[in-house]
A and B are shown apart, each in its own frame.
Chain A
Amino acid sequence: ETGVTQTPRHLVMGMTNKKSLKCEQHLGHNAMYWYKQSAKKPLELMFVYSLEERVENNSVPSRFSPECPNSSHLFLHLHTLQPEDSALYLCASSQGTSARGRNEQYFGPGTRLTVT
């Protein structure tokens, strides 16, 4: 148990559905992240939020829409996805400080998404 939870753990959705992934951290961290992990590909950073403001958007298609209402919660809204979007979506949090040695990331267990 890392203090980062993700729901749902598994999600199957059609290409016309709208769904949301939820991430919650109980660590008092200020930065939160979404990563995509596909088979046989490196981990891809999608979004970074620091103090609830988006600081990174790695050219992610608009069918993925993040939301960070407060420093403990992060959502990923999904709309009209493609089969190639099937992957493990990982959420992480970190202290969000420039102080060295205090900024390691803690990961949730991930949501396994299958787009049919």
Chain B
Amino acid sequence: AQSVTQLDSHVSVSEGTPVLLRCNYSSSYSPSLFWYVQHPNKGLQLLLKYTSAATLVKGINGFEAELNTSETSFHLTKPSAHMSDAAEYFCVVEGNFNKFYFGSGTKLNVKP
């Protein structure tokens, strides 16, 4: 069975400093993994996806994530936070039969 754990419900960083949002997954096979971002009162937007190619995946807005199969992690990073990055971020693993398993979300706060 597939599951996702986002280790931090809230992360606060200063503008211009690095961002790290942590995600661990559980899967009985090599899964597809995704990160989504949700700005207030908006739908979810795909940031990036891992699909069995390179383990380092680059996404939009300068975000990237690296798959670590030994630690079953797929952490999201960005070298320098911008105020517009303040949002909620969801880590997602794909299961069977068109099902997706969502983490509980991490709210990123960016301080000026």
Whether the Cβ atoms of B97 and A55 lie closer than 8 Å is yes
- Known pairs A42-B102, A43-B90, A100-B32; A107 contacts B52 (CB<8 A): no
Whether the Cβ atoms of A56 and B99 lie closer than 8 Å is yes
4 nearest A-B residue pairs (beta carbon): A101-B51, A107-B43, A107-B44, A42-B104
Contacting residue for A90 out of B43, B49, B99, B104, CB 8 A: B43
Point out the residues of chain B lying under 8 angstroms from A2, CB to CB.
43, 45
- Known pairs A43-B90, A107-B43, A110-B43; A101 contacts B102 (CB<8 A): no
CB within 8 Å of A: which residues of B? 32, 34, 36, 41-46, 49, 51-53, 90, 92, 94, 97-100, 102-105
Point out the residues of chain B lying under 8 angstroms from A94, CB to CB.
98, 100
- Known pairs A43-B90, A101-B51, A104-B34; A55 contacts B98 (CB<8 A): yes
Q: With an 8 A cutoff between CB atoms, is A13 at the interface? A: no
Point out the residues of chain B lying under 8 angstroms from A105, CB to CB.
34, 44, 46, 92, 100
A105 to B93, CA, bound (A): 11
Chain A interface, >50% SS class? strand
CB within 8 Å of B: which residues of A? 2, 4, 6, 31, 42-43, 45, 48, 50, 55-56, 88, 90, 92, 94, 96, 100-101, 103-110, 112
Query: Closest CB-CB distance, A110 to chain B, in whole Å?
Result: 5
A56 to B92, CA, bound (A): 18
Whether the Cβ atoms of B42 and A110 lie closer than 8 Å is yes
Starting from the known contacts A43-B102, A88-B41, 8 additional A-B residue pairs (CB-CB under 8 Å) come to: A43-B90, A43-B105, A55-B97, A56-B99, A101-B49, A101-B53, A105-B100, A109-B42
A88 to B34, CA, bound (A): 21
- Known pairs A42-B105, A43-B90; A103 contacts B98 (CB<8 A): yes
Contacting residue for B41 out of A4, A107, A112, CB 8 A: A112
- Known pairs A42-B105, A100-B32, A101-B52; A107 contacts B45 (CB<8 A): yes
Point out the residues of chain B lying under 8 angstroms from A101, CB to CB.
32, 49, 51-53
5 A-B pairs in the complex with CB atoms less than 8 angstroms apart: A43-B90, A48-B99, A103-B94, A103-B98, A109-B42
